[in-house]
Structure 1
Amino acid sequence: MTSLSRRRVVGSLAALAFGPAAAHVMAQPPTSFPTRPVTLWVPWPAGGATDLTMRVLAELASRQLGQKVLIENRAGAGGTLVMPVLQQAAPDGYTIAQLPQPVFRAPHVQKLLWDPIRDTTPILQLTGVTFGIVVTAGSPFKSLDDLFAFAKAHPGELTVATNGAGTTPHVVMDELFDKRGLSYTHVPYKGTAEQMIAVSAGQVMVGVNSNGFAPFVDGGKLRLLVTFGEHRTRRWPQVPTLKELGHGIVAMSPYGLAAPRGTPSAVIKVLHDAFKAALLDPAHIAELAKYDQEPAYLGSEDYGRVMKDTFAAERRVVERLGLAKAAQ
């Protein structure tokens, strides 16, 4: 009997041994991923800067995957509401989410049922954001020191809007004011667009958020007082950073994509490759540039290490600022 004949006999016997179902499975080629649309959860409202850039990213990734990437928005709780989605989703690659910085901070602030390291599988890091403090164009506040002076003269009267309790803007403002023994009234919003409209209309005195303020600043509706990056931005080179003003704070909040815990590595690779190509596509880079963002790509393994480092660093920040609540 030839080797080919022996292989045929062995294959037939194996199929018979495991029954008709096994024979059918053995006769089928491996199923490729994806075979249906992928849902990408974004933890911010539709229409904000991050949402808009993620929609461009999703459209470009759809072309790579051969299946639609559908955006679902789940705003609130400072950007952390995607974590329960990932925790409960099947680890099959069809449910993924953007992971913003607050998901690494929130578990240190309050007791939660989810863990951003335990319950996720990293796909890739995408980019970071430009944070800044803005006031309406007609505001008497021309600098950060003006805010401190007002807060000192009028304790608790300064109203400051952020995109939620425990977010990076909120934590940075708390640190700046606590160091000086000053207070302000925190006004949380679910999204950047809603918040910037409120600041522009004078409903709140100060806004702190990511680069979704860019169109309002460029359009002359808002004045940018300071940014949080390592260096001044190319877009607003006249605006100083917190670091150069001597406050010792740099905050860029890099973010990426993750899948549920246990998602197969082969599926993660397909998602990684598609979203990396989308990230670096000129159309996406141009969309990021509208908000003074640039790609900050990291692969799955490197992003996983950064996630763990960020989780540990956020614990130290929470402990230093005394933000932790009772565990019960």
Structure 2
Amino acid sequence: MTLTRSLAYRLGTMALSAGTVLGASSVHAEDAYPSKPITIIVGYSAGGANDLLARVVGEKMSTLLKQPVIVENKPGAGSIIAANFVAKAKADGYTLLMGASGPISFNPSLYKKLPYDPQKDLTPVSLVGTFPLVLVTQKSNPDTGSLPTLIAYAKDHPGKSNYSASSASFQLITELFKRRTQTAFEYIPYKSSYESVMAVSTGDATMTLADSSPAMQGISSGRVRALAVTSPQRISYMADTPTLKELGIDMTVELWSGLFVPAGTPPAVVGKLEETVKTIMDDGDVRKRVEGMSITPASSTSRDFAQRIAQEIPFWKKIAQDAGIQPN
């Protein structure tokens, strides 16, 4: 059957109008975001760095977006449970993940099969904070009083040199340190960064690379000394501690936390969240609160965050392979 030119024109006009209405409705829905409470999922127990960050960010986000922001803890399996929960959530911008570099950049090196793909199932929104690591040794041990003497001691006493680490992420970072310094420290696992630092203070471990908050507790007690930080520049609250780069070690590493949404979330919603996070992290009061947690405030574009992750995943896979760390 052949349509007349007039009827075909009318049908085409109706289709165009319908498409315009649907497109306008979609844009209006995204412009209206958010229209209900937002939930930030945290893969760790309450009171930890990621949890505290989520609560600081959520409080300010609620004010800016004029909707309640709920922080929900789903700890377990190195944040795999939380990451997978958000990856499988509805892609509408109402379920966010306060993700750490562990479940995103490190886990692909440590697990043969994850229930989520960090790059395919999650969309980065923005960085929120970075965590420099601190290299500490026992303060009363004269053989490890500086980075050169620590390295020399490790090379002269390979059977007596070890390091404590609280997770596979810290293990991988220390394996990188071993490569850069051509040393052979043996790995001793501990349950937390605080326990890793305490192991150094008692002499049960020669050294550890720990996040700055538990490291600062050991330093303030006078039982461990800080030899270096892994950040690109010195950190304000440890201004007298040099970076590894300053001491001639080609190594710069920072752990991070950032917000993610399920893949497929509308770009306009991702963009609104990205802009909101930047406003939050530029706020002087927020920055002061975050720095008080020994965290460096940060923000980024979604694109830059995705590129960072894309570079980190293969890098840490190579470190794991070279160290002979087999994925679980």
The interval holding the TM-score normalised by the smaller chain is: 0.7 to 0.9
Match of 2:6 in 1: none
Say which is worse superposed, 88-97 or 153-162, in terms of deviation: 153-162
Q: How far 1:196 sits from its partner (Å)? A: 6.5
Identity among equivalent pairs (%): 23
* Aligned partner (choices 161, 165, 168) of residue 161 of structure 1: 165
Note closer, same or farther for the CA distance 1:159–1:318 as it changes in structure 2 (3 Å cut). Answer: closer
Q: How far 1:146 sits from its partner (Å)? A: 5.2
Contact 2:87 2:261 in 1 (8 A): no
Query: For the residues of structure 1 that align with 2:276 and 2:314, how far apart are their CA atoms?
Result: 30
Note closer, same or farther for the CA distance 1:201–1:131 as it changes in structure 2 (3 Å cut). Answer: closer
Note closer, same or farther for the CA distance 1:324–1:131 as it changes in structure 2 (3 Å cut). Answer: same
The gaps in structure 1 that reach 5 residues or longer are 1-9, 19-25
Q: 1:130 aligns to what SS in structure 2?
A: strand
* Aligned partner (choices 264, 279, 303) of residue 301 of structure 1: 303
Alignment of 1:46 with 2:49, yes or no, is no
Q: What is the correspondence of 1:50-65 to structure 2 with a 5 Å cutoff? A: 50-65=50-65
Query: For the residues of structure 2 that align with 1:322 and 1:197, how far apart are their CA atoms?
Result: 25
Q: 2:70 aligns to what SS in structure 1?
A: strand
Say which is worse superposed, 260-269 or 309-318, in terms of deviation: 309-318
Q: How far 1:324 sits from its partner (Å)? A: 4.6
Q: What is the correspondence of 1:249-328 to structure 2 with a 5 Å cutoff? A: 249-325=251-327
Q: What is the correspondence of 1:18-167 to structure 2 with a 5 Å cutoff? A: 30=29, 32-102=32-102, 103-113=104-114, 114-135=116-137, 141-145=144-148, 147-148=150-151, 149=153, 153=157, 155=159, 158=162, 160-162=164-166, 164-165=167-168, 167=169
Q: How far 1:313 sits from its partner (Å)? A: 3.0
Structure with a larger share of its residues in helix: 2
Q: Output the amino acid matched with 1:106.
A: N
Q: Output the amino acid matched with 2:38.
A: V
Say which is worse superposed, 284-293 or 211-220, in terms of deviation: 211-220
Match of 1:237 in 2: 239
Q: How far 1:138 sits from its partner (Å)? A: 5.1
Say which is worse superposed, 256-265 or 239-248, in terms of deviation: 239-248
Deviation string, structure 1 residues 75-94 (Cα, Å, up to 9, x no partner)? 45455443212222221222
Query: For the residues of structure 1 that align with 2:135 and 2:72, how far apart are their CA atoms?
Result: 28
Query: For the residues of structure 2 that align with 1:251 and 1:213, how far apart are their CA atoms?
Result: 17
Contact 1:137 1:220 in 2 (8 A): no
Query: For the residues of structure 1 that align with 2:155 and 2:73, how far apart are their CA atoms?
Result: 36
Query: For the residues of structure 2 that align with 1:105 and 1:256, how far apart are their CA atoms?
Result: 14
TM-score by length of 2: 0.76
Match of 2:3 in 1: none
Q: How far 1:106 sits from its partner (Å)? A: 1.9
Note closer, same or farther for the CA distance 1:204–1:55 as it changes in structure 2 (3 Å cut). Answer: farther
Query: For the residues of structure 1 that align with 2:197 and 2:252, how far apart are their CA atoms?
Result: 26
Query: For the residues of structure 1 that align with 2:284 and 2:310, how far apart are their CA atoms?
Result: 30
Corresponding residue pairs, total: 298
Q: How far 1:126 sits from its partner (Å)? A: 2.4
Q: How far 1:62 sits from its partner (Å)? A: 1.4
Note closer, same or farther for the CA distance 1:224–1:105 as it changes in structure 2 (3 Å cut). Answer: same
Say which is worse superposed, 310-319 or 99-108, in terms of deviation: 310-319
Contact 2:139 2:201 in 1 (8 A): no
Match of 1:6 in 2: none
Match of 2:212 in 1: 211
* Aligned partner (choices 211, 229, 251) of residue 227 of structure 1: 229
Q: 1:235 aligns to what SS in structure 2?
A: helix
Deviation string, structure 1 residues 130-176 (Cα, Å, up to 9, x no partner)? 111234655654234555526853726745133x11x1x32122233
Q: Following TM superposition, where does structure 1 have runs of at least 4 consecutive aligned residues deviating by more than 6 angstroms?
A: none
Query: For the residues of structure 2 that align with 1:97 and 1:75, how far apart are their CA atoms?
Result: 12
Q: Output the amino acid matched with 1:57.
A: V
Q: Output the amino acid matched with 2:165.
A: A
Contact 1:196 1:216 in 2 (8 A): no
Note closer, same or farther for the CA distance 1:142–1:324 as it changes in structure 2 (3 Å cut). Answer: same
Query: For the residues of structure 2 that align with 1:75 and 1:226, how far apart are their CA atoms?
Result: 31
Query: For the residues of structure 2 that align with 1:145 and 1:51, how far apart are their CA atoms?
Result: 37
Query: For the residues of structure 2 that align with 1:243 and 1:197, how far apart are their CA atoms?
Result: 22
Note closer, same or farther for the CA distance 1:79–1:152 as it changes in structure 2 (3 Å cut). Answer: farther
Match of 2:4 in 1: none
Contact 1:48 1:212 in 2 (8 A): no
Contact 2:53 2:290 in 1 (8 A): yes
